[in-house]
Amino acid sequence: MKKWAAHQLRDKHLLDADAVNAELASHQSSMTTLDRSQIPVTSITHSNLAPYALHRIYTVTLTPASSPGENGEQGLADTLTPADQFQCATYQNYGGGWRALYSSTLSGFKGGDLYIEFQGCGYVNPTCHQTYNNAYPPNPKFISLRIVVAGITIAEIMGGVSGGCEGFRLMGNAQLPPGDHGVELQWKGTSPGQDDPIVEATASAHIMQYHVWSAKMIAIGRWR
């Protein structure tokens, strides 16, 4: 006798939904795909599986070979900074807002769970928290980071880098449908204030503000 037939009938011959769920769950895997718990342990080996049949791993290292450590991917390598400073984001080439450090596509995603991790190093100029004149309030500087997949923010940290050189690590996971999903690793610095130091007076050089380098990404899609 089916499990749902063993329960007491309700008005208009309707059944309790929870009574049906248990029976449905036990057969759902065989309706949609082959569940590994329902086949002999040694009946399937790696030689029987097509590439990416169970999962797929995507990795990338974002440091360019042409300028190790620099954030050339951002298009914000300011060459007019002093010789003892990073060639990075300054308030002459960056005015605030989210900026993509890296964009790519997770191709061949078959639907299921996605785990993604973004890590690297960031720099915020600690001397620029204070404004030129005491009449103006300080403008604390931070770098925020986030991972966006298929237009959805998977993970985000506000103020992940707050002063000097610091490491960061951001991770998250989501359930995604089959398809090729775009991924962006993004960063955002504090917007300039009305009295921020942006030029080194003695050399008329641009003062470094934000720098992200040595970043890496790993994403793991699992669908079995």
Overall average pLDDT of the 211-217 stretch:
86
The answer on 71 and 38 residing in a single domain is no
Is 125 a domain residue? yes
Phi, psi of 69 (to 5 degrees): 90, -20
Q: Name, in order, each residue with C-beta under 8 angstroms of 12's C-beta and a sequence gap of 6 or more.
A: none
Burial 139-170 (b: 16+ CB within 10 A, else e): bebbbbbbbbbbeeebbebeebbebeeeebeb
Higher pLDDT, residue 3 or 216: 216
**For a pLDDT cut of 90, what percent of the chain falls above it?**
23
Instruction: Please choose, from the candidates 74, 109, 110, the residue with its C-alpha nearest in 3D space to the C-alpha of residue 184.
Output: 74
Q: Which SS3 state, helix, strand or coil, does residue 13 take?
A: helix
Is 162 a domain residue? yes
User: pLDDT tens across 162-200, in order?
Assistant: 888 899 999 999 989 999 999 998 999 998 888 888 888
The answer on 40 and 61 residing in a single domain is no
The answer on 86 and 22 residing in a single domain is no
pLDDT of residue 103: 84
pLDDT of residue 149: 95
Is 133 a domain residue? yes
The answer on 176 and 153 residing in a single domain is yes
The answer on 176 and 145 residing in a single domain is yes
Burial 42-71 (b: 16+ CB within 10 A, else e): eeeeeeeeeeeeeebebeeebbeeeeeebb
Overall average pLDDT of the 40-47 stretch:
73
pLDDT of residue 66: 52
> Using 50, 70 and 90 to split pLDDT, how confident is the model at 101?
confident
Q: Do residues 71 and 99 lie in contact, with contact meaning Cβ atoms separated by under 8 Å?
A: no
Q: Do residues 205 and 92 lie in contact, with contact meaning Cβ atoms separated by under 8 Å?
A: no
The answer on 120 and 27 residing in a single domain is no
User: pLDDT tens across 63-85, in order?
Assistant: 655 544 455 546 678 888 888 88
The answer on 100 and 69 residing in a single domain is yes
User: Rounded to whole angstroms, how far apart are CA atoms 131 and 200?
Assistant: 13
- The owner of tokens 């720098």 is 211
Distances (CA, A) of 122 to 22, 71, 91, 109, 189: 50, 10, 17, 30, 11
User: 216 pLDDT exceeds 90?
Assistant: no
User: 31 pLDDT exceeds 80?
Assistant: no
User: Rounded to whole angstroms, how far apart are CA atoms 150 and 178?
Assistant: 11
User: 148 pLDDT exceeds 90?
Assistant: yes
The answer on 178 and 147 residing in a single domain is yes
Higher pLDDT, residue 127 or 157: 157
User: 87 pLDDT exceeds 90?
Assistant: no
Q: Look up the CATH number of the domain holding residue 126.
A: 2.60.120
The answer on 79 and 130 residing in a single domain is yes
Higher pLDDT, residue 215 or 135: 215
The answer on 9 and 120 residing in a single domain is no
Distances (CA, A) of 216 to 63, 73, 170: 8, 13, 11
pLDDT of residue 28: 53
Of 48-62, 113-127, 128-142, 163-177, the range with the lowest mean pLDDT is 128-142
209 alpha-carbon distance from chain centroid: 23
User: Rounded to whole angstroms, how far apart are CA atoms 127 and 139?
Assistant: 11
- The owner of tokens 């639907």 is 111
User: Rounded to whole angstroms, how far apart are CA atoms 123 and 161?
Assistant: 7
> Using 50, 70 and 90 to split pLDDT, how confident is the model at 53?
confident
> Using 50, 70 and 90 to split pLDDT, how confident is the model at 139?
confident
How many domains does the chain contain in total?
2
Domain that holds residue 135: 55-222
Is 147 a domain residue? yes
The answer on 123 and 37 residing in a single domain is no
Is 124 a domain residue? yes
State the pTM of this model. 0.73
> Using 50, 70 and 90 to split pLDDT, how confident is the model at 58?
very high
